[in-house]
């Protein structure tokens, strides 16, 4: 690995010339009193300013990153750092890679300042992408020194293990060690990498890197999780940044979800950070660990318990609303409902205060209008606004939209035995359910001929079973392509007790609940099969106009989550449909995905019959 030995000296000459040309001001005011506080100018040859951009991909939102670049040009930093995930990547298709890098270069071209590249998991995930990076940029980790500050740019993807499994291997560690030894006397060290390895396990030599950093002035910057938080550790500030256009629910600073660039002023005492939201400015304490623990590490304070009805004709019903204050300060709550054309509802309380560490419960009363069918209803939407009242710091405000609807009580029946062969001969008497929720461009979905899917469920002494009957007039299969960019069936199964699984919003995927994605590849059709918490088996049979599939999940996994006498599980099923000639794919779910803003808590619950 090599540093910028030829580029940096030229950079120094340029800045040194500018430092020698300090402005001179002439003042001619005769009075003793002066209209200023002092004239100690806030300038020094050692002081400089640069910017940091963070994740653009992992579900890019078009237009955001270019806006960030335009705003950086208004601010005129001396240079711009990055923390990776610059392209969408995750492919071995060199044509696609070339196109994505060409697009990104077009975003950078208008930038007046130098731009320093750092790889993320979307930039380097396999050997093809790694080679492309080397073709474009030469090295994947490097360093430079500017005005007595060491900039150490690392590659958290050096073992190609993907999201959540970053590493610093032996070779890179030796480079870091040598670089720090060679630059032992710099006044500050700034480290840039993509994945925040300090919150991950099995990171190879990262902890050794931290030990080398512990006795010097340093800061570490990363991205990856699309949420901002600052941690004080290892005698330095470690900061995970939010997004500059990457996927985000954008719920605000309480959640650390916002689009921003970071403006860094390097002083003799260390860096001063200003988080520049694309619509405002905040300092580096925009989200502290204390606020993380209060807001993000606790369930949202307001929950509406789902209700499941055996009698679909029932007109009057009620659901319990539970509001929990997890803090040591007062919490004000305001609930605002939107009118619903098929359901009349009324909250017993809409504006109230919850005392510290207290719980308030009340009812939401509902009445069905006309002959509405629950499964065809749009959800009731209630905006819950939360404000924590503090005496010694600004109040903390955040909000969320709560989706609610009554559900028919779906059951799963016991059977004597299912032979897992992908055929549906044993399922003729089963209760089949349709997958009807569609997301994506309407121009990419041509109705039932394009896609139609039904499923049934059952269990025996050994397994929980899912049968799928799929119609798809254009199977899109790529043996070497990304699992997420071709036709695939998605299964989610949360075996934890109903009061927990009902409010699963996607957290703990692969750890607390099964996330099973199966394509129609001939080789290795299941995404990350070796990382599933349990061995899920499946068999598929291709038909003239689609496919049939059977999936089996060991019952021991369900019993582990809910006990031997398990009564329910939360189940989700979806399909990613990509057709040749369409601009993009469409997604089809039984109920909206648990991690989407459209998720309805309690949806997909199956009760043992």
Query: For residue 477, which of 408, 361, 550, 579 has the smallest C-alpha distance?
Result: 579
Long-range contacts, 553-559 (Cβ 8 Å, 24+): 553/463, 553/464, 553/465, 553/466, 553/493, 553/514, 554/462, 554/463, 554/464, 555/459, 555/460, 555/461, 555/462, 555/463, 555/464, 557/495, 557/514, 557/533, 558/464, 558/493, 558/495, 559/495
Strand-strand pairing, 236-240 and 218-222? parallel
How far apart CA 272 and CA 489 sit, in angstroms, is 48
How far apart CA 589 and CA 438 sit, in angstroms, is 7
pLDDT of residue 43 exceeding 50: yes
pLDDT of residue 17 exceeding 60: no
pLDDT confidence tier of residue 581, bands split at 50, 70 and 90: confident
pLDDT confidence tier of residue 392, bands split at 50, 70 and 90: low
Edge-to-edge strands, sheet with 236-240: 142-146, 149-153, 188-192, 218-222, 236-240, 229-233
Between 444 and 82, residue with greater pLDDT: 82
pLDDT digits (tens, 9 = 90+) for 226-248: 999 999 999 999 999 999 999 99
pLDDT digits (tens, 9 = 90+) for 287-312: 778 888 888 888 999 999 999 987 65
Residue with tokens 């600004």: 394
pLDDT of residue 116 exceeding 80: yes
pLDDT confidence tier of residue 38, bands split at 50, 70 and 90: confident
Helix (H) or strand (E) holding 317: strand 316-324
pLDDT digits (tens, 9 = 90+) for 424-478: 999 988 999 999 888 877 667 777 778 999 999 999 999 999 999 999 988 899 9
pLDDT digits (tens, 9 = 90+) for 526-553: 999 998 999 999 999 999 889 999 999 9
Provide the token pair at 397. Answer: 């405000």
Residue with tokens 């461009």: 441
pLDDT of residue 364 exceeding 80: yes
- 243 close to 54: Cβ distance less than 8 angstroms: yes
User: Mapping DSSP to helix (H, G, I), strand (E, B) and coil, where does residue 19 land?
Assistant: helix
Per-residue confidence (pLDDT) for residue 393, from 0 to 100: 67
pLDDT of residue 19 exceeding 50: no
User: Mapping DSSP to helix (H, G, I), strand (E, B) and coil, where does residue 50 land?
Assistant: strand
User: Mapping DSSP to helix (H, G, I), strand (E, B) and coil, where does residue 145 land?
Assistant: strand
How far apart CA 407 and CA 309 sit, in angstroms, is 6
pLDDT confidence tier of residue 371, bands split at 50, 70 and 90: low
Q: How far is CA 503 from CA 203, 244, 247, 325, in A?
A: 31, 29, 22, 17
Long-range contacts, 370-373 (Cβ 8 Å, 24+): 370/342, 372/342, 372/343, 373/312
How far apart CA 341 and CA 221 sit, in angstroms, is 49
Helix ranges (H only) for 23-91 are: 64-75
Residue with tokens 């380097």: 124
Calculate the CA dihedral of residues 82, 86, 92, 95 and round it to 10 degrees. -120
Provide the token pair at 36. Answer: 């200023």
Between 48 and 443, residue with greater pLDDT: 48
How far apart CA 193 and CA 146 sit, in angstroms, is 18
Per-residue confidence (pLDDT) for residue 127, from 0 to 100: 97
Euclidean distance between the first and the last CA atom of the chain, given in angstroms as a whole number:
63
Name the least confident of 76-80, 322-326, 413-417. Answer: 413-417
Per-residue confidence (pLDDT) for residue 314, from 0 to 100: 63
Per-residue confidence (pLDDT) for residue 439, from 0 to 100: 83
Residue 565 CA neighbour count, 13 Å, CB half: 0
Going along the chain from its start, the domains and CATH numbers come out as 7-296 (3.60.21.10), 302-407 (2.60.40.10), 411-608 (2.60.40.1190)
The DSSP code for 294 is I
User: Mapping DSSP to helix (H, G, I), strand (E, B) and coil, where does residue 375 land?
Assistant: helix
Per-residue confidence (pLDDT) for residue 290, from 0 to 100: 81
Per-residue confidence (pLDDT) for residue 10, from 0 to 100: 36
Average pLDDT, the chain: 90
């Amino acid at each position: 690995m090599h540093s910028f030995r030829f580029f940096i000296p030229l950079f120094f000459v340029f800045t040194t010339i500018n430092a020698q040309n300090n402005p001179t001001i002439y003042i001619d005011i005769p009075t003793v009193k002066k209209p200023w506080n002092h004239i100690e100018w806030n300038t020094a040859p050692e002081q400089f300013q640069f910017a940091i951009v963070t994740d653009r991909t992992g579900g890019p939102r078009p237009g955001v990153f270019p806006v960030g670049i335009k705003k950086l040009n208004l601010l005129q930093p001396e240079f711009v750092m990055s923390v990776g995930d610059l392209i969408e990547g995750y492919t071995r298709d060199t044509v696609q890679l070339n196109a994505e890098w060409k697009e990104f270069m077009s975003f950078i071209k208008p930038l007046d300042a130098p731009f320093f590249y750092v790889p993320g998991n979307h930039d380097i995930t396999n050997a093809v992408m790694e080679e492309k990076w080397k073709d474009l940029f030469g090295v994947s980790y490097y360093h430079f020194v500017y005005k007595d500050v060491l900039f150490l740019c690392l590659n958290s993807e050096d073992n190609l293990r993907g999201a959540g499994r970053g590493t610093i291997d032996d070779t890179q560690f030796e480079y870091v060690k040598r670089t720090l030894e060679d630059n032992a006397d710099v006044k500050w060290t700034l480290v840039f990498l993509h994945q925040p390895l300090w919150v991950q396990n099995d990171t190879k030599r990262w902890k050794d890197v931290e030990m080398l950093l512990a006795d010097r002035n340093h800061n570490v910057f990363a991205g990856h999780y699309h949420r901002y938080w600052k941690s004080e550790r290892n005698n330095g500030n470690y900061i995970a940044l939010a997004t500059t256009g990457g996927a985000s629910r954008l719920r605000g600073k309480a959640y650390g979800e916002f689009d921003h660039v970071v403006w860094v002023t390097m002083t003799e005492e260390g860096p001063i950070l200003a988080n520049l939201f694309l619509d405002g400015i905040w300092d580096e304490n925009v989200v502290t660990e204390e606020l993380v623990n209060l807001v993000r590490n606790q369930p949202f304070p307001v929950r509406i318990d789902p209700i499941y009805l055996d009698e679909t004709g029932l007109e009057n019903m009620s659901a319990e609303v539970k509001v929990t204050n997890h803090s040591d300060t007062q919490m004000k709550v305001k609930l605002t409902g939107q009118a619903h054309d098929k359901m009349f509802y009324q909250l017993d309380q809409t504006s109230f205060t919850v005392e510290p560490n207290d719980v308030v419960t009340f009812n939401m009363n509902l009445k069905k209008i006309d002959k509405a069918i629950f499964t065809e209803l749009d959800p009731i939407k209630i905006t819950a606004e939360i404000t924590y009242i503090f005496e010694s710091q600004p109040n903390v405000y955040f909000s969320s939209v709560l989706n609610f609807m009554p559900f028919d009580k779906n059951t799963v029946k016991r059977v004597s035995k299912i032979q897992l062969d992908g055929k549906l001969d044993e399922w003729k008497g089963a209760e089949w359910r349709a997958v009807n929720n569609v997301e994506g461009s309407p121009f990419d979905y041509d109705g039932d001929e394009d896609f139609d899917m039904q499923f049934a469920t059952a269990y025996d002494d050994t397994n929980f079973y899912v049968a799928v009957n799929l119609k798809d007039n254009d199977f899109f299969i790529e043996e070497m392509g990304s699992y997420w960019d071709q036709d695939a069936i998605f299964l989610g199964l949360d075996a934890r007790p109903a009061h927990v699984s009902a409010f699963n919003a996607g957290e703990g995927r692969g750890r607390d609940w099964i996330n099973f994605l199966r394509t129609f590849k001939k080789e290795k059709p299941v995404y990350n099969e070796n990382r599933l918490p349990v061995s899920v088996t499946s068999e598929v049979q291709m038909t003239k106009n689609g496919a049939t599939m059977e999936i089996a999940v060991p019952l021991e996994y369900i019993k582990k989550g809910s006990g031997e006498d398990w009564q329910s599980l939360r189940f989700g099923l979806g399909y990613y449909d990509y057709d040749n000639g369409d601009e993009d794919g469409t997604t089809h779910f039984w109920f909206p995905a648990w991690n989407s803003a459209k998720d309805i808590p309690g949806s997909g619950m199956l009760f043992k019959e």
